[in-house]
Structure 1
Amino acid sequence: MLTFDDGPASAVNDNPTVHILEVLEQRHIKAVFFTQPRAWNGGGTEMGRALIRREYREGHVIGLHSGTPFHSNHRFMSRERLDETLQLGLDDLKSETGVTPKLVRPPFWAYDADTLASYRAHGLQMLLTDLNANDGKIYGVNWSWHKRSNMLTHLAETRKHWAAGALPSVDGYTPVVVTFHDVNTYTSRHIEEYLEILLDVARELQVPLAEQPFYQDHDQLERAALAATITDPNLKPQLPGLWNWLWQ
C-alpha cells in the first residue's frame, strides 16, 4: 500500500507530485495521499488545491496530514487548537473533493491518547506505516544511497509481524503500508526505482505477492487502509527512525 505525506507540492514547473501522479497513472496504481490543504507553500496554493482535486479524480484516497499552514506537531497543540485545525482541514478537503476524509496521519508520527481522541471526535482513523523511505527531508541533502537496504531492513521486520499473524487481512490480502513524501524531488525522480526495489526485496525475503502487488481500486485500498489503522493509545507500534525513540 503506497502512501504519500506532506503534499501536494506547489511548483508550477517540474512539480514532484505531478510526476508521481503520472507514474501511478501509467501503472494503474492507487495510493493514499496525506495532504496539507492549508500549507502556505503547498496544498494552500492554487496549484496545491488543483492537485488535491486531481488526486481524488484519479481514484486515489485523500487523507489529512495537517490543517495548519505549517507541518505542525499535533502533540504540541492544545486540544482546542487541534480540534480547530482538524475541522479546517477536513472542511477544505471536502470542499475540494466533495468527500470528508476518513484517514489521518500525524506529522512527525507524533500522537498520544489526546490526539487519538481528537481524531475519533472528527471521524478520523490514524494510519501509521510499516516501511518508510526515510525521504522526509525535502531540502538540502534529500537523496539516499541506501534505498534498497533501507527497504530490505524494514520489510524484514514487517515480515516477522506478518508471520506471527499480527497484521490484518483484508479482501484476502495483507496490506503492507509504505510511506514516501511526494514533495521530495528526489523521491519523485526515483519513484519507479523505488517500486521495483519494493518488489525485489519482497521476493528476496520470500514475502508472497498478490498478482497485482499494488492497489488498483480506490475502495479496496481504503478498506485496507482503515483495517491497518491504530485506535488503541496503549499500543506502541514501531515508528520510523528516531521518531520511535522520541515518542514511544
Structure 2
Amino acid sequence: MNVLNALCLSAVCLLAGCIGPPLPLTEQTRTQLSQQAPVRFVLTFDDGPSGSGWWNPTARILDDLADNPVMPGIKAVFFVQTGAIGGGGSDTGRELLRREGRDLHILGFHSATPRHTNHRSLSPEQLEQSLRDGLRIIAEQSGQQATLLRPPFWNYDHRTFAAYRAKGLRVLLTDLSANDGKIYGFNMSPRRRANLLLQVSQVRERIAKGELPTVDGAIPVVVTFHDVNRYTARHIHEYLQILIDSARADGLPLAAKPFYDDQAQLLRAATARTVPDDGRGVHLPGIWDWLWDHNGH
C-alpha cells in the first residue's frame, strides 16, 4: 500500500465516529420500493479462519450462525486466507476450513500469501502461484471449487482482474460494511447501529432505482464482517438484529427469511452481485469509493 493509501486509511480511523443520520425516506422512494422485490442479506466474512487456540472467533461465529435467536441455520460466504500465518495456514485454521465446508457455507478466495497482501503488489507469476495454491487448498480442505473472490483491500486492476477470470473466479465486493476490519488494539464498534442504519438507507436508494438484481424472488444485499475479530464474534447476534432493524427503520422490505439458509441459493445470489467486468463502475461503502477512485483499479 502506498503512502497516500496509508494516510487515507489513517483518516478513516480518525473520522470513524463521524457517522451522519440515515437518508430520509421520501414518498417517491417508498413508491419505487413497492415495485421492487424484498431484500435478503448475503453475509460475508473476510480474513479468516482464525488459528487461535483461545476462544476462536471463527468457531464462535460458525456456532452462532447455526444457532441464534434471529434465524437459525444461516449460511455465509467466507473469503479465506489459506496461507495466513497463525490463520488459514495453521492446523486449527485448516480444521475450520473443513468445518466451513461440512457446514455448507461457501468458501471464497481472499489470499494465499502469509500476510494480507494486495494482489496488485504481486508479480504476474506470484499472483498466478497464489491463486493456484489457494484454490487447491480450498478444494482439498472443503471439497469446494471456489468461484468467488474478494481482493484484499477491495483493490484490483485490469491485470489482476484478468488473472481472476482466467481461474474462473468472480469478484464480489460489498454493499454494507460493519467497519470491523481492525483486529488488534481498539477493535470495538461503538456506533455499529448508526453506521449500518446509514449504509442501509444508502443502499435503499439504489434498490429503489432498480440498480440491484432480483434472484430467486429477492434482492441480495451483501454485508461484510471479519471473522477474525473477537468483538464481531461476541456481537454477531446483535449484528444480525441490527441489520433487520435497520432495514425496517429505513423502509426497506425484507423477505420472509432475511438471510440465506440454503447454500445453492446463497451461491446464486452472491454470483449475481459479482462485478461483471473490470471497466464497470462499482460502489463501496464509506471512504473506499473515494479511495479507489483516486488510486485507480
Query: TM-score, normalized by length of structure 1?
Result: 0.98
Q: 8 Å contact 1:116–1:231 — kept in the other structure?
A: no
Partner of 2:25: none
Structure 1 residue 189 corresponds to structure 2 residue 230? no
CA deviation digits over 1:63-122, x for unaligned, max 9?
010011110001222222111101110011111122210000000010111111010001
CA RMSD of aligned residues (A): 0.9
Q: Name segments (4+ residues, structure 1) moved above 3 Å.
A: none
Which has more strand, going by share of residues?
Answer: 2
Structure 1 residue 22 corresponds to structure 2 residue 63? yes
Task: Give the alignment partner of residue 40 of structure 1, picking from 56, 62, 85.
Answer: 85
Unaligned runs of 5+ in 1: none
Query: TM-score, normalized by length of structure 2?
Result: 0.82
Structure 1 residue 142 corresponds to structure 2 residue 171? no
Indicate the SS of the match to 2:257.
coil
**Distance in 2 (alpha carbons) for counterparts of 1:193 and 1:247:** 31
Partner of 1:82: 127
Q: In structure 2, what residue type is equivalent to 1:19?
A: R
Indicate the SS of the match to 1:210.
strand
**Distance in 2 (alpha carbons) for counterparts of 1:241 and 1:48:** 31
Task: Give the alignment partner of residue 108 of structure 2, picking from 63, 72, 75.
Answer: 63
Structure 1 residue 218 corresponds to structure 2 residue 259? no
Task: Give the alignment partner of residue 127 of structure 1, picking from 163, 172, 175.
Answer: 172
Q: In structure 1, what residue type is equivalent to 2:50?
A: A
Q: 8 Å contact 2:99–2:142 — kept in the other structure?
A: no
**Distance in 2 (alpha carbons) for counterparts of 1:148 and 1:98:** 37
**Distance in 2 (alpha carbons) for counterparts of 1:32 and 1:102:** 11
Q: 8 Å contact 1:103–1:125 — kept in the other structure?
A: yes
**Distance in 2 (alpha carbons) for counterparts of 1:156 and 1:40:** 38
**Distance in 1 (alpha carbons) for counterparts of 2:292 and 2:56:** 33
Q: In structure 1, what residue type is equivalent to 2:285?
A: P
Task: Give the alignment partner of residue 151 of structure 1, picking from 173, 196, 207.
Answer: 196
Unaligned runs of 5+ in 2: 1-41
Partner of 2:35: none
Q: In structure 2, what residue type is equivalent to 1:25?
A: A
What percent identity do the matched residue pairs reach?
Answer: 54
Q: In structure 2, what residue type is equivalent to 1:4?
A: F
CA deviation digits over 1:128-157, x for unaligned, max 9?
000000000000010011101110111111
**Distance in 2 (alpha carbons) for counterparts of 1:74 and 1:199:** 34
Structure 1 residue 107 corresponds to structure 2 residue 152? yes
Structure 1 residue 180 corresponds to structure 2 residue 225? yes
Q: In structure 2, what residue type is equivalent to 1:214?
A: F
Q: CA deviation at 1:242?
A: 3.3
Indicate the SS of the match to 1:52.
helix
Q: In structure 2, what residue type is equivalent to 1:226?
A: T
CA pair 34-171 structure 1, distance change in 2 beyond 3 A: same
Q: CA deviation at 1:231?
A: 2.4
CA deviation digits over 1:15-57, x for unaligned, max 9?
0001100000112100000001111110000000000110110
